[in-house]
């Protein structure tokens, strides 16, 4: 049998994150062929037009959203077979390089995005079980954990690779329970477990047997094109982890801000409610900010002191972050 050579195309994905009114938001681009499916900004890498992946990414994002990105970092390379499943598709296999981008919203950004068939949307629309700011999400106990318990009791599917941990152990590690507490950094592990158990819409679309058996159950969160929700989960895990050892939160803040605004943004990203006095003590001990001498009356109450990020911190110690949450 002659050896077949697969055709491969390199794509570039961007998870563009901002915080507005206490909501962690990402830019989604509408599928021109299916308005019901959200997707991340995406385009092919053109080695003739783009000298580097990063230049290519910035070009595609500007073309699709009119946004000029500031801070970006490479996330991961996504190349699983079938990740761009399309019925009858025999086109090139798409390997995508994912990026995390942090930006601040401007007053006209919503209007600008709308002109480019894109918009801001809360990332908790896609991952409602990740938002613990108002306590434990009811969805966990009403739907997710019972369904995972049932799946964990099923025998492994034919051809399923052996794993070091049982389904039950993986479930407890990802979602907490008998042997572990909730760890906000495990967003990707939780999504992958839900996909494997057939509890998200992408699993049904991709023909996962577990999803076909659960066709009568509502699927969890808003699905996305291809594997874009997995890319987004990767970005959430990365950002939540990085929050603890790098001052990335200030990429999402205006130049001057109150400590309440800073706390609200940290809570939005981490998905955790933080005690006000403990948070202020944490910020003070970390020496992350400095007072500007100005105040804000935007809340309508007593004037609140305005702060800014203390830039010299970057040269003073190697891991200046905010150690909130698990781990």
Predicted local confidence at residue 205, as pLDDT: 86
C-alpha 102/C-alpha 236 separation (Å) is 12
Going 81 to 85 to 90 to 92, the CA torsion angle's sign is negative
C-alpha 67/C-alpha 27 separation (Å) is 10
Predicted local confidence at residue 24, as pLDDT: 98
* Percent of the chain predicted with pLDDT > 90: 65
Predicted local confidence at residue 178, as pLDDT: 57
Predicted local confidence at residue 2, as pLDDT: 55
Tell me the pLDDT of the chain averaged across its residues. 88
Predicted local confidence at residue 125, as pLDDT: 97
Domains (ranges, CATH) in the chain? 8-125 (3.90.79.10), 128-221 (no CATH), 248-315 (1.10.10.10)
CB 40 within 8 A of CB 231: yes
Which range has the worst mean pLDDT, 121-125, 172-176, 211-215, 270-274? Answer: 211-215
Which range has the worst mean pLDDT, 182-196, 218-232, 246-260, 268-282? Answer: 218-232
Predicted local confidence at residue 322, as pLDDT: 80
- The residue-averaged pLDDT of 13-23 equals 96
How far lies 22's CA from each of 110, 196, 267, 296, in Å? Answer: 16, 32, 8, 18
CB 310 within 8 A of CB 289: yes
CB 256 within 8 A of CB 208: no
C-alpha 281/C-alpha 274 separation (Å) is 11
More confident residue, 64 or 292: 292
Predicted local confidence at residue 122, as pLDDT: 98
The alpha helices in the chain, defined as continuous H runs, are 53-65, 109-115, 138-139, 145-153, 167-175, 187-196, 201-205, 209-213, 228-242, 259-270, 276-286
Predicted local confidence at residue 87, as pLDDT: 53
Predicted local confidence at residue 4, as pLDDT: 59
- pLDDT per residue as tens digits for the range 276-304: 999 999 998 889 999 999 999 887 778 99
Predicted local confidence at residue 206, as pLDDT: 85
Max mean pLDDT range (35-44, 107-116, 231-240): 231-240
More confident residue, 230 or 179: 230
**DSSP result, 169-197:** HHHHHHH--SS----GGGHHHHHHHHHHT
Over its C-alpha atoms, the chain yields an Rg (Å, rounded) of: 21
Which range has the worst mean pLDDT, 32-36, 41-45, 71-75, 267-271? Answer: 32-36
């Amino acid at each position: 049998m002659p050896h077949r050579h697969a055709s491969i195309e390199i794509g570039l994905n961007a998870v563009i994150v901002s915080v507005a009114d206490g909501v962690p938001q990402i830019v989604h681009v509408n599928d021109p062929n299916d308005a019901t499916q959200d997707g991340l900004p995406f385009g092919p890498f053109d080695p003739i037009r783009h000298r580097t992946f990063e230049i290519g990414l910035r070009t595609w994002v500007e073309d699709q959203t009119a946004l000029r990105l500031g801070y970006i970092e490479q996330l991961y390379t996504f190349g699983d077979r079938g990740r761009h499943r399309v019925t009858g598709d025999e086109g090139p296999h798409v390997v995508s390089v994912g990026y995390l981008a942090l930006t601040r919203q401007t007053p006209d950004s919503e209007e600008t995005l709308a002109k480019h068939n894109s918009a801001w949307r809360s990332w908790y629309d896609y991952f409602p079980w990740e938002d613990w700011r108002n306590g434990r999400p009811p969805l966990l106990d009403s739907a997710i954990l019972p369904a995972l318990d049932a799946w964990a009791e099923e025998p492994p599917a034919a051809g399923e690779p052996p794993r070091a941990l049982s389904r039950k152990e993986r479930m407890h590690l990802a979602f907490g329970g008998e042997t572990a507490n909730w760890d906000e950094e495990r967003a990707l592990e939780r999504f992958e477990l839900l996909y494997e158990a057939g509890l998200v819409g992408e699993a049904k679309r991709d023909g996962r047997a577990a999803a076909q058996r659960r066709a009568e159950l509502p699927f969890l969160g808003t699905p996305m094109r291809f594997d874009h929700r997995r890319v987004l989960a990767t970005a959430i895990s990365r950002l939540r982890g990085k929050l603890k050892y790098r001052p990335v939160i200030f990429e999402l803040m205006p130049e001057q801000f109150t400590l309440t605004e800073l706390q609200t943004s940290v809570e939005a990203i981490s998905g955790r409610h933080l005690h006000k006095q403990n948070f202020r003590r944490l910020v003070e001990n970390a020496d992350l900010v400095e007072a500007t001498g100005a105040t804000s009356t935007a809340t309508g109450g007593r004037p609140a002191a305005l702060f800014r990020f203390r830039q010299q911190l970057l040269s003073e110690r190697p891991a200046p972050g905010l150690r909130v949450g698990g781990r």
